[in-house]
Amino acid sequence: MTSRLFRTKPINQILADADHPDHRLKKTLTAWDLTALGIGAIIGTGIFVLIGTAIVGDAHRPGSGPGIILSFILSGLTCAFAALCYAEFSAMIPVAGSAYTYSYATLGEFLAWITGWNLILEYGVACVAVAIGWSGYFNNLLSLAGLELPHWATHPPGGPDGGIANIPAAIIVLLVTIILVIGIKESARATSYIVCLKLAVILFFIAVGTPAVNPENWTPFMPQGFAGVGAAAAIIFFAYIGFDAISTAAEETQNPQRDLPISIIASLSICTVLYIAVAAVLTGLIPYTKIDIHAPVADALRLVGFKWGAAIVSIGAVAGITSVLVVMMLGQVRVFFAMSRDRLLGPWLSAVHPRFRTPHHATIVTGGAVAVLAALIPIGDAADMTNIGTLFAFVLVCLGVMILRYTKPDQPRPFRLPFMPLVPILGMLACLGLMAFLPGLTWIRFGVWTVIGVLVYAGYGLKHSKLATQSSQY
């Protein structure tokens, strides 16, 4: 039984499966496309929404105050360690599946399943939360234009303010689903345009807000001490999720060995610099206690007299969150696709459209599920659940790249991360440290989700795995 649980999938077989005609995806993406996808996923809900909760705090965690600048640096360093590990893996194993595939090659089938199961949690919950956030900003823009949708059509059922369904959230998910079915190149092209728009909006906020900064607002810098900075880093980590989604598009990249490392590191570096600048300007504009937790960036401009600027930022937020949804759904679908191709999930999910060469079944299933949940469920603590699943996957990626460096030293590596084994060790410690700052309830939910995943694997994946079928033939 132990040998079955920890059987690894040879890298040569992983690459051969990816090149099988029945499962081959269309290769159209360039380094710019991938970098745009990464920035498109990274810049969005985190910087436009969650930064407010991170600064002010809530019932589950203390706020960082102006120390949010340090929180972004901590989260950015954590992601940098993981990003270097992803870069080496993605250049060496340029196939869909991301951390799931890397774990399968190094840690064995069971841990690969657990990794994939938690990537489903990461992308799935993130898609729902992002769609609901998009709906909120969209409704706000309609209000600024003097339009108002009925309450029942913009709120899910339940609670004192309950409606019937969050229809805008469901509609945007279905539109993104159609785009992803038609083709990854079309998705990347649309994301590229949106990335340019929201980068312009963020630079606009920095340019307009900097002259209005009052340095006295940065005092006290850490009102809750390091506990506040650490707790903020744990939730604001959501703002960095996205660079890992680049690796899920590896099979659709023209030159993955060169372009994947470039795009992963470039997108993370660009976003980190912008985040620190936005955090400094935001906390300098108004006292941190007055920052709005729902639309912090736009509301800060409104409070200092730039109402027109607030409208521009709101438009950028809608665009930014749209691109996040595109890339998060793309990542979710590619993980489903890879797990199905290995027969850990039903083979129907790895079907490729004969014309568009996209995994249309997995895309439609993902889009349908996310649309229903976004319409009917108010998502609380969604960022925490997304973060814990992502951080767990990062820990295994850091561990896996270290193991593979020593077990297969002669394997071709177009990109080699520096300072082995220091970088992956620091990456694991940093990820575990951020996980420790997440609320206890998040850990309980994470445990329940993992147990469900173990049961699904025991009931289906263990018996139907392609590796199990192949071994039984000999």
List domains and CATH numbers for the chain. Answer: 26-472 (1.20.1740.10)
pLDDT tens profile 59-89: 778 889 999 999 999 999 998 899 889 888 8
* Alpha helices in 342-381, H assignment, sequence order: 360-376
CA distance 32 to 49: 27
Q: Name the phi and psi angles at 203, rounded to 5.
A: -65, -35
State residue 214's pLDDT score: 92
Which residue from 44, 52, 45 is spatially nearest to 71, judged by alpha carbons?
52
Q: 347 with 466: CB under 8 angstroms?
A: no
Where the chain has pLDDT below 70, the residues are 1-6, 14-15, 17-26, 96-97, 159-162, 184-191, 248, 294, 378-383, 470-474
- Looking up tokens 């504009």 gives 285
Helical (H) or strand (E) element with 61: strand 61-62
Residue 159's pLDDT is what? 58
pTM of the model: 0.79
Residue 239 to residues 35, 66, 133, 275: CA-CA distances in angstroms? 16, 17, 14, 9
Please give the torsion angle defined by the CA atoms of residues 398, 400, 404 and 407, in that order, rounded to the nearest 10 degrees. Answer: 120
pLDDT digits (tens, 9 = 90+) for 123-133: 888 888 888 87
Q: What is the pLDDT of residue 2?
A: 61
Predicted local confidence at residue 191, as pLDDT: 66
Q: Report pLDDT for 304.
A: 86
Q: With left for phi above 0 and alpha for psi between -120 and 50, is residue 352 left, alpha or beta?
A: beta
| pLDDT for the residue 96 | 63
- The pLDDT of residue 255 is 82
Question: What confidence score (pLDDT) does residue 474 get?
Answer: 39
CA 138 to each of CA 48, 135, 313, 376: distance values in angstroms, whole numbers, following the listed order: 13, 5, 12, 17
